[in-house]
Amino acid sequence: MQNLLVIKRSRLIFFLFFLFIYSCKTTEEVKKVDYSNVLSVLCEVDKVSSKIEKEEGIEALSIAKNLVENRGDVEEARLIYRKALDHAKEVLKEKIEKKDWQGAFLYFNSIKACEPSFDDGVLRTIVSEINENLFKKNPSLSKIINKTNSSKIAKTIDQMIDATVTVFVDRGIKVEKGMGYSDIILGSGFFIDEEGHFITNYHVIQSEVDPKYEGYSRVYIKNFEGSKDKIPAKVIGYDPLLDLALVKAQVSPSHVFKLGSSENLKVGNKCYAIGSPLGLERTLTQGIISSKDRQLIPLVDVIQLDAAINHGSSGGPMVDENGEVQGVVFAGVTKTQGLNFAIPVELLKLILPRLYSGGENSHSWLGSYGKDIDETDDVPSGVIASYVMPTGAASNAGISDGAIITHINDRKVKDLATLKLLLMEFPSSSIIKVSGKLRTEDGWQVKNWFPVLQKRPESPASVVYKKDTVQRCVLPFYGLLLENMGHKRRFRVKDVIRHSYGDELGFMVNDYLEIRNMQIDESKGIIQTLFYAKKLKAAYIESFVGATTYSDNTGYF
């Protein structure tokens, strides 16, 4: 009996300890710069000097530019900005002399964002050298970009089928209930050059490059122009967020595909998909474009089509009536017939040089979450940053919750899709100019911020959860803005983002809730939360609400 009491007491202590740790989860402390305080301004001046000494030139330039943007009337701010700018130009010159073209590109972009009048001739030299080096290593890339590989372009259906292959990933043997089974991943791919480079989906070849995967993995192609042999292949470059990969097989295809322009694609246009659905090789299906702006991938909009596509078709080409590639197909929604999708070819063309460069292609982000906002008499159009993550790029530059972003490097941001596409053009660790408006007591104030872009994580929600309080995490996770009610886990709903998951769950302004538990399952890519709620529409009757949502969504940028 005494042992039982000891066990129960131990369990109670463990539970209380877990509850204490959970309730004490706090944000990384971020102190906003008080530009109205001269001492704060001088502290920022010292920070810039320190970063220059540490050869952190881009970070120094970003802080100094934000400083002079807010307090250009302070002489020390103007002087330190000039010092940071001169230092960045010296580093740029050194990198050009050392032929470090990628580093030079970062510094040039950063200087150009701060000083638009900076010499454009420098950019032409840098880009020319980068392209020349890339084209030397991959002569076929120049042909693709300049559309001069016409001699082997597939023109007939038979030629297009010959230019499409089955991607076969052998992952050895998996054991289930004491029995061993072949672990095979099937997909499709299509050749884009004469050297054997072909495009497929990242998820098809993921085990080849994913550091989390520790098993056996070998990639081959089958059905090369009718051959039944397995031909070894090697992954060259890949993009997990866009689900694209460039792979090279030791073959010289007789025909290759021409990359088209999905900008001219319209709903109702006829399309064809080629691949190996369920392993049935050399399959051609026909359909129409159903939509061009489905938000199925968090980073970009994709094309919806009604051509029959199944597992095994992933990575194959979607072509138009001229035989030009308009998208890279991937399997549709599980257990739902007729809903199939393709990644627009414009995105493939945008990242293709980076894929040829090799390795993982990463993307930049500001560490924010928001939505489109339409212009009214009182509100400008653009994207509202409903949530800004502590220590993220936006937060470091002084962008706060509620800011409306209207321009990136003086280019108009009409909606969230446009904003994310613009961010794809700039590498992480470079400075960009973000223009927008911030509401003050006197109305909307025009603002410019100069953040240093950060690498977009595979799971934004996981990073947000680690850096912020549970209360603030609920906004990007479920679209609920919470107001504390005097307890660490008890809140009032202050606002609900329309069409968010919280909105779908029926939460309204002035509902009351407690957050009993919140967990992120990174392996499944989901967030699970248990709310104890008192809803207005339920006459404030107490109830438990279980909520599960994806750890990545289209609102992050």
364 catalytically annotated? no
3-state secondary structure of 246: strand
Q: Directed axis angle between helix 470-478 and helix 460-467, to 10°?
A: 160
How far from the centroid of its chain's Cα atoms is residue 267's Cα?
26
Query: 344 has which bridge partners?
Result: 327
Nearest-angstrom CA–CA distance, 19 and 24: 8
Residue position matching structure tokens 């969230």: 416
407 catalytically annotated? no
Phi-psi region of 20 (alpha: psi -120 to 50; beta: other; left: phi over 0): alpha
For residue 542, give the H/E element and its range: strand 542-550
Residues composing the chain: 557
Nearest-angstrom CA–CA distance, 398 and 224: 55
Distances (CA, A) of 434 to 229, 282, 291: 53, 48, 31
314 catalytically annotated? yes
- For 413-525, strand residue ranges (E) read 434-440, 443-449, 454-455, 480-487, 490-496, 512-521
Nearest-angstrom CA–CA distance, 63 and 214: 42
Q: Say which of 217, 290, 314, 429 is annotated catalytic.
A: 314
Query: 445 has which bridge partners?
Result: 438
Residue 420: both structure tokens together: 């994310």
Q: Say which of 239, 243, 301, 306 is annotated catalytic.
A: 243
Nearest-angstrom CA–CA distance, 482 and 31: 21
Q: Say which of 197, 203, 255, 363 is annotated catalytic.
A: 203
The residues carrying an active-site annotation are 203, 243, 314
